[in-house]
Amino acid sequence: MQKGDNDMLISALESKASKDSITSSVSLGAKASLGNGNKTPDCSCRVIKSENFSFFYGRNAGVKGITMEVYPCSVTAIIGPSGCGKSTFLRSINRINDLIPHTRTEGRLLVNGHNVYDKNTNLVNLRRQVGIVFQKPNPFPKSIFDNIAYGPRLHGVRNRSQLQQIVENSLRAAALWDEVKDDLKKSALSLSGGQQQRVCIARALATEPGILLMDEPCSALDPIATGKIEDLIDRLQSDYTIVIVTHNMQQAARVSRRTAFFCLGRLVEYDLTAKIFRNPGKKQTEDYVTGRFG
Amino acid sequence: MRLLIRRITDKFFTVLTSASVILLAAALLVVLGPMLLRGAGAVVFDGTVEFRRMQLDLFNRGEADSIEDEVSRAAACRKVVYETIDKFKHGIDVEELSNEAKRIYRLFGRQLRYEGVTGDEYRRVRSLARELRNRLLEAFGSNDRALIERNVDRVLRYRGHRDFADSAASGFFTLAEDFLTSVESIDLNKRRQYADSLRQAEEIIFRLLGPRPDDALPALAMERYGATRWDMAQQLLDDLLWSKQWVEAEPGRPMVKVRTSRAGQFAGTGLEGLFKYVEDNLETMLRPRFTFYWQYLIDDSTPGHYFGGVGPEVLGTLLITLLSMVLVFPLGVVSAAYLVECASDTAAVRIIRMCINTLAGVPSIVFGLFGLAFFVLFLIPLFGGPSKPCILTACLTLAVLTLPVMIRASEEAIRSVPQTYKEASLGLGAGRFVTFVKVTLPAALPGILTGAILSLSRVAGETAPVLFTGAVALGPPPDSLFDPTRTLSYGSYDIAVGDRLAMMVPHKQYGMVVTLVLLILCLNGIAIVLRARIFRKLKGQ
């Protein structure tokens, strides 16, 4: 494939105007910003930028000197061998890493133009704007309805019919509505693994985030469920910025637009997926994707 | 070979674990079984007509008509007993006979004066009566049969005398006749022994059948009724038929109990047949019937726990238990939440943790004394109240007692909630407090409830802390939180170290203890069912 075609493809994608959102009819009201009262961001502002970002567990570096930019309304994959810092970087984006004691950061990590590690960052709003899906499905031990309505209820939605509409929209977006619509009061833990993960995705979507982080979402699932979730990601990418960490290279190739290759805490190469897999620039990348190590 | 060894060790492991479980169950059965059976005897037993009478009088229970009917039917049978005893008594109770003779003499004199007999006539008749009286007194007091017969004979010669006809003096003749008949059959030398044995037998009959129909009511409630339970009646019957004495069989060896038949003691006298009669007719006299006295659990008891039930004690125990659980539950959960969520690993926090773990093992009587010193003597007066033990201080003391256990269990439960739930909740934008309340706490609830169940059991059965801070053995039901109350645990202790009353009503003691055990089982059962439901909901069924 020639470079010119790719560029056209890229620019075509990036200049796409934001379509009607799947979760359109009822929204959560005016979206709050990340701490400094800006207006509602649109698709072109759903961007993550890392500037020489480092994350330290005690004295060991999880990631060092990461500089990259995640483009909006597309899927970006992060691949690499175990322990290379993919999850660390991902979890820093919405500061879920705060749960771990004795950590510190260097550099800047900007989400929609605001440094998330700044002192006056509104964490509640940040986490509303940036949803996350974890590796092992972790629905709350509540009903399916309560699981998905948890986020909206947190942010002030009390109206019963409003909540029901949001839940239905999220479940449709997560491609789970037809399977569970008969009994939303059922406990979420009684579903299969793939369904539970989709509940988690629906739960993350219910707060209408602009950015969706996915930390190896399919690694605990069987191929059929994995396929369903990959289709889901495909459909969501037009409205959300998705960053997916995966150790499955085929999945990265299938699903993502751009891919970042991490190794030993450093960003080795970040480019279009097609290029990374067919014509990688660095030797390390080539060794990894062709299976010589990793 | 290896496979065989593994099989053997597996089998051994299975056998060992099942054996220990079976052993535990057997131990429980051996310990609890007889206690439960005996305690059930407080509620399910054969109750006599005396019991029904007591229930009617003290608790207004039962139909007065049918009970009266029963009493009158039994009375006919009992009358024989009383008559036999009375007749026999005449022969041996010298003092009473003498008093009776003197009384008749005085009555006769009064009658003469009333009729207007005066002067010489009065003196003559009077001196004649006096002579009769003295002869009778002499007869009563002597052991010589010949003398008695002579005197009585001489008295009876005056029976038809015109002076004594239709007057009070005819009482002399009845007295003389009766005396003669009863004296015919007894050995006069043994009068003293007869008197002693008769007294014993009379006492037992009093406890068996209650006071006589025409006697005055005794002051104590426990003496107003005969044997209320058929098993007690059987025991009294045995005491009646056999007198038991401790004699030294051989010098230097322990004394042995020797039974002698009372009927044999009174052989040849009119009283001999009494014992057989009582034995044969006890059922008719007491009319035992199967009784299911479930009101035992709600009735108040007469002072000394002789009659009645354990109602106030049950109420007191329930009140104290539930109130202290209300105090300890939120306090324990909040402390555990602080220790898990907010406390950083500093030296101060580690010391606090160590203190909590140590306090869990402190003996309960220490807590009792602490409660007395702090709550009763210091804290309540500080707020202006009277410095006396009450329900409030008891609950506070018990809350402090079980707080360490509650905190420990809650801490474990909260810690065991998977980190993933917290991550998911935070990832959706919840703050730490909201995450705790809406996600962590509901997920930790089964473990917390386990701690609550353990605390509940301990609190319900504690005696030492409530000893000083809120329990009494007797008294009215409490009106407010500032009154002391009776409890099952303290009541059991009190009966056990109390006076001879405990030996007379062993079924009450067993009943109280078994009620306590069953109460704790019930409370535990409710809590376990609750916990199981929550657990199932969490697991997704």
Q: Produce one character per residue of B147-173: b if its CB has 16 or more CB atoms within 10 Å, e if not.
A: ebeebbeebeebeeeebbeebbbebbb
Reported confidence tier of residue B541, pLDDT bands at 50, 70, 90: low
How many angstroms away from the CA of A27 is the closest CA of chain B?
16
Q: Model confidence at A294, in pLDDT bands (50, 70, 90)?
A: low
State the residue range of the domain holding B14: 2-40
- Domain end among B189, B214, B242: B189
Q: What tokens appear for B185 in the block? A: 């059959």
User: CB atoms < 10 A from the CB of B37, how many?
Assistant: 11
- Give residues with Cβ within 8 angstroms of B156, minimum separation 6: B173, B176, B177
Per-residue model confidence as pLDDT tens digits over B131-169: 888 888 888 777 778 888 888 888 888 777 777 777 777
Phi, psi of B83 (to 5 degrees): -65, -45
What are B468's two structure tokens?
Answer: 């000083």
Chain A residue whose CA is closest to B444: A141
Residues on chain B touching A138 (C-beta within 8 angstroms): 418, 420-421, 423-424
In sequence order, the 6+-apart residues with CB closer than 8 A to the CB of A257 are A13, A71, A74, A75, A76, A237, A272, A273
CB-CB under 8 Å, A124 with B439: no
Rounded CA-CA distance B74/B81 in Å is 11
- Count each helix (H run) and each strand (E run) in chain B, helices first: 23, 4
Number of separate domains in chain B:
4
- Contact assessment for residue B446 and residue B413, using Cβ atoms and an 8 Å cutoff: yes
Interface contact flag, B427 A131, Cβ < 8 Å: yes
Residue B401: both structure tokens together: 């007692």
B439/A134 CB distance under 8 A: no
Summarize pLDDT for A36-84 with one digit per residue, the tens.
333 344 565 568 999 999 999 988 888 999 999 998 889 999 999 888 8
**Taking the mean position of all CA atoms in its chain, how far away is CA B328?**
34
Percent of chain A with pLDDT over 90: 41
Asked if residue B170 and residue B278 are part of one domain, the reply reads no
Residue B411 pLDDT: 93
Interface check for B220 against chain A (CB to CB < 8 A): the answer is no
Answer yes or no: do B353 and B460 share one domain.
Answer: yes
Determine contact: B346 vs chain A, CB below 8 A.
no
B176 touching A (Cβ < 8 Å) = no
Please give the mean pLDDT across all residues of chain A.
82
Q: In sequence order, what are the residues at sequence separation of 6 or more whose Cβ sits closer than 8 angstroms to the Cβ of residue B436?
A: B337, B341
Nearest to B427 among A94, A141, A155 (CB): A94
- Which residues of chain A neighbour B341 with C-beta distances below 8 Å? none
CB contact under 8 A, A141 and B538: yes
Q: Is A181 helix (H, G, I), strand (E, B) or coil?
A: coil
pLDDT tens-digit map of B304-338: 777 888 888 999 999 999 999 999 999 999 999 99
Question: Which of B263, B281, B301 lies at the terminal end of a domain, its last residue?
Answer: B301
Does B537 contact A128 at a Cβ distance shorter than 8 Å?
A: no
Query: In angstroms, what separates the C-alpha of A271 from chain B's closest C-alpha?
Result: 28
| Neighbouring C-beta atoms of residue A37, cutoff 10 Å | 7
Structure tokens given for B68: 């009266």
Phi, psi of A292 (to 5 degrees): -75, -25
Residues B198 and B177 in one domain: no
Indicate whether B344 and B420 sit together in one domain. Answer: yes
A-B CB pairs within 8 A amount to 75
Give CB contacts under 8 A, 24+ apart, made by B358-361: B359/B403, B359/B404, B360/B404, B360/B405, B360/B408
Q: Are A134 and A99 within 8 A, CB to CB?
A: no
Distance to chain B for A287, nearest Cα, Å? 34
Rounded Cα distance between B332 and B306, Å, is 42
Token match 């996915």: residue? Answer: A214
Three-state secondary-structure class, residue A143: strand
- pLDDT (mean) for B225-244: 86
pLDDT tens string A9-39: 333 334 332 332 222 223 333 333 333 333 3
More confident residue, A85 or B264: A85
414-453 in chain B: CB under 8 A from chain A: 418-431, 434, 438-439, 442-443
The domain spanning residue B423 has which CATH number?
A: 1.10.3720.10
Report if residue B75 sits inside a domain: no
Phi-psi region of A290 (alpha: psi -120 to 50; beta: other; left: phi over 0): alpha
One-letter identity of residue A96? I
At which of B165, B189, B213 does a domain end?
A: B189
Residues in chain A within 8 Å Cβ distance of B431: 124
In this structure, are residues A115 and A109 in contact, taking their beta carbons and an 8 Å threshold?
yes
Task: Give the C-alpha separation, B239 to B235, whole Å.
Answer: 6
Q: Quick check: is B211 in a domain? A: yes
The pLDDT tens digits of the residues spanning B236-275 come to 888 888 888 787 777 878 888 888 888 777 776 777 788 8
Identify which of A126, A140, A189 has the shortest CB distance to residue B439.
Answer: A140
pLDDT at residue B182 in the model? 74
Note whether B428 contacts A150, CB cutoff 8 Å: yes
When pLDDT is cut at 50, 70 and 90, the band that residue B449 belongs to is: very high
Predicted pLDDT at B501: 67
- Say whether A141 and B434 touch across the interface (CB within 8 A): no
Report the pLDDT averaged over residues B376-401: 90
Out of B418, B427, B539, name the one closest to residue A127 (CB): B427
B78 within domain boundaries = no
Query: Using the beta-carbon criterion (under 8 Å), do B428 and A134 form an inter-chain contact?
Result: no
- Spatial neighbors of A209 by CB under 8 A, at least 6 apart, are A128, A129, A130, A131, A240
Same domain for B273 and B343?
Answer: no
Best mutation target, A142, A155, A195, A200, to test chain B (most B CBs within 10 A): A142
Same domain, B397 and B448: yes
ipTM: 0.81
Contact B246, B200 (CB under 8 A): no
Residues B456 and B433 placed together within one structural domain of the fold: yes
**B74 within domain boundaries:** no
Nearest chain B residue to A199 by CA: give it: B424
Residue B76 falls inside a structural domain: no
CA distance B491 to B474: 9
For residue A117, which of A97, A142, A133, A144 has the smallest C-alpha distance? Answer: A97
Compute the Cα dihedral for A243, A249, A252, A255 and give only its sign.
negative
The per-type count for chain A, helices as H runs and strands as E runs, is 11, 10
- Residue B114: other Cβ atoms inside 10 A: 8
pLDDT tens-place string over residues B160-193: 777 777 777 777 787 788 788 777 766 667 777 7
CA end-to-end distance (rounded Å), chain A: 27
Closest-CA distance, B444 to chain A, in angstroms, reads: 11
Positions of E strands within A134-278: 211-215, 241-245, 258-263, 266-272
* Residue-level pLDDT at A5: 41
DSSP A47-102: -EEEEEEEEEETTEEEEEEEEEEEPSSSEEEEE-STTSSHHHHHHHHTTGGGGSSS
pLDDT mean over B203-231? 83
- Sign of the alpha-carbon torsion through A272, A276, A278, A280: positive
Least confident of A40-44, B25-29, B121-125, B318-322: A40-44
Q: Is A9 in a helix, a strand, or coil? A: helix
Q: Do B377 and B495 share a domain, yes or no?
A: yes
Give the tokens for residue B23: 């052993």
Give the C-alpha separation, A56 to A67, whole Å.
16
- Among candidate residues A253, B424, A110, A93, the one with its CA nearest the CA of residue A85: A93
Q: What is the dihedral of CA B338, B342, B343, B344, to 10 degrees?
A: 170
**Tokens 């999880």 found at:** A62
Q: Which residues, in sequence order, are bridge partners of residue A262? A: A267
Please report whether residue B416 resides in a domain.
yes
Residue B79 lies in a domain: no
Are residues B196 and B131 part of one domain? no
Concatenated DSSP letters of B225-289: S---BHHHHHHHHHHHHEEEEEE-SSTTSPPEEEEEEHHHHTTTSTTHHHHHHHHHHHHHHH--E
- Residue numbers in A near B436 (CB within 8 A): none
Say if residues B180 and B216 touch (Cβ distance below 8 Å).
no
Amino acid at B262: R
Residue B466: Cβ within 10 Å count? 31
B468 and B366 assigned to the same domain: yes
Task: Average the pLDDT over each of A202-211, B144-153, B336-345, B443-452 and give the range with the smallest value.
Answer: B144-153
A122 → chain B, closest CA residue:
B429
Q: Are strands A103-111 and A75-79 parallel, antiparallel or unpaired?
A: unpaired
What Å distances lie between residue B484 and A170, B317, B319, CA to CA? 60, 11, 11
Residues B247 and B313 in one domain: no
The residue among B419, B428, B441, B537 with the most chain A CBs within 10 A of its CB, best to mutate, is B428
pLDDT in tens, B106-117: 888 888 888 887
Q: Could you report how far apart the first and last alpha carbons of chain B are, in Å?
A: 45
From chain A, the residues in CB contact with B537 under 8 A are: 141, 187
What's the mean pLDDT in B366-380? 91
Do B476 and B504 belong together in one domain?
yes
φ/ψ bin of B166: left (φ > 0), alpha (ψ from -120 to 50), beta (otherwise): left
B120 lies in some domain: yes
